[in-house]
Amino acid sequence: MNYDEISPSSNDEGLSMKHIKIIFIIAIVGIFLLFALFITPIQNLIREPVSEEVTVISKSDGKCVVDSKDHPRSIDNCEYEIGDKLEITYDQGTAPITSHKKR
């Protein structure tokens, strides 16, 4: 009996190294996507703008400080005076003020 007829050919041996590499890459990408979706909250990626009325509580060296709902915030190159009422806008959960105007 000829052993070449009985033994499987190289095409019938199962998964080739190329297929194993592709499966491995797909698995790594899948794990990365799972971590991105479930560990990093989506709400941290999309921040809502918040507008509120505040009062300038201090001014020093051209920088004003206002007391917003969550914590004090500063405005650089400030043209306002202590006691001025302002409307400020900022992204929820961030410190910088995105816009401000006198009320």
Q: What angle do CA 63, 87, 60 make, to 5 degrees?
A: 15
Is residue 50 within 8 Å of 92, Cβ to Cβ?
Answer: yes
> What is the model's pLDDT at position 95?
86
> What is the model's pLDDT at position 35?
82
Let me know if residue 3 belongs to a domain. Answer: no
Domain count, the chain: 2
Whether residues 41 and 53 share a domain: the answer is no
How far apart (Å, rounded) are the C-alpha atoms in residues 103 and 23?
A: 60
Q: What is the pLDDT of residues 34-78, one digit of tens each?
A: 887 777 666 666 788 999 999 999 999 999 999 999 889 999 999
> Greater confidence, 53 or 10?
53
> Which two tokens mark 76?
């650089």
Whether residues 25 and 69 share a domain: the answer is no
Q: What is the pLDDT of residues 12-41, one digit of tens each?
A: 567 889 999 999 999 999 999 888 777 766
Whether residues 42 and 20 share a domain: the answer is yes
> Which two tokens mark 65?
């400080």
Give residue 21's domain range: 15-46
CATH number at residue 98: 2.40.50
Let me know if residue 4 belongs to a domain. Answer: no
Let me know if residue 2 belongs to a domain. Answer: no
